[in-house]
Amino acid sequence: MNKSDLAAAVAGSTGMSKSQASEAVDATIDAIVGAVKKKDNVQLAGFGTFYAKHRDARQVRNPRTGETMMSKAKTSAAFRPAASLKDI
């Protein structure tokens, strides 16, 4: 399922037009992305939690040359599913 399929499913279950549902899906995704950028957690009951995960710098190897080097520390988005979603 892609974003347009999700918008069509939302439109079908809520009675919204497809364009309104698409705007609602886009607004939801933008809100989640904005919160994770601010390193806030987004908890959706029965679905899961989106959060920012910090990754420390670490030693990596270039597969082409075999040279070892240090990668930079970074923060990435992560998702932890709720127990009810795991059971499916």
Range of the domain at 51: 39-88
Q: Are residues 59 and 85 in the same domain?
A: yes
Query: Would you mind telling me the total number of residues written for the chain in this entry?
Result: 88
| pTM (two decimals) | 0.80
Q: Are residues 16 and 46 in the same domain?
A: no
Q: Are residues 55 and 23 in the same domain?
A: no
Q: Are residues 43 and 81 in the same domain?
A: yes
In this structure, the number of other CB atoms found within 10 A of the CB of residue 48 comes to: 17
Contact between 50 and 36 (Cβ < 8 Å): yes
Number of structural domains in the chain: 2
pLDDT average, residue stretch 61-84: 95
Compute CA distances 72 → 37, 57, 58, 65, 76, whole Å: 18, 5, 7, 19, 12
Q: Are residues 32 and 59 in the same domain?
A: no
Q: Are residues 59 and 86 in the same domain?
A: yes
Per-residue confidence band for 11, with pLDDT thresholds at 50, 70 and 90:
very high
Residue 78 has pLDDT above 90, yes or no: yes
What CATH number should be reported for the domain holding residue 73? Answer: 4.10.520.10
Place of tokens 């995960």: 53
Over the stretch 39-70, which tens digit does the pLDDT of each residue have? 999 999 999 999 999 999 999 999 999 999 99
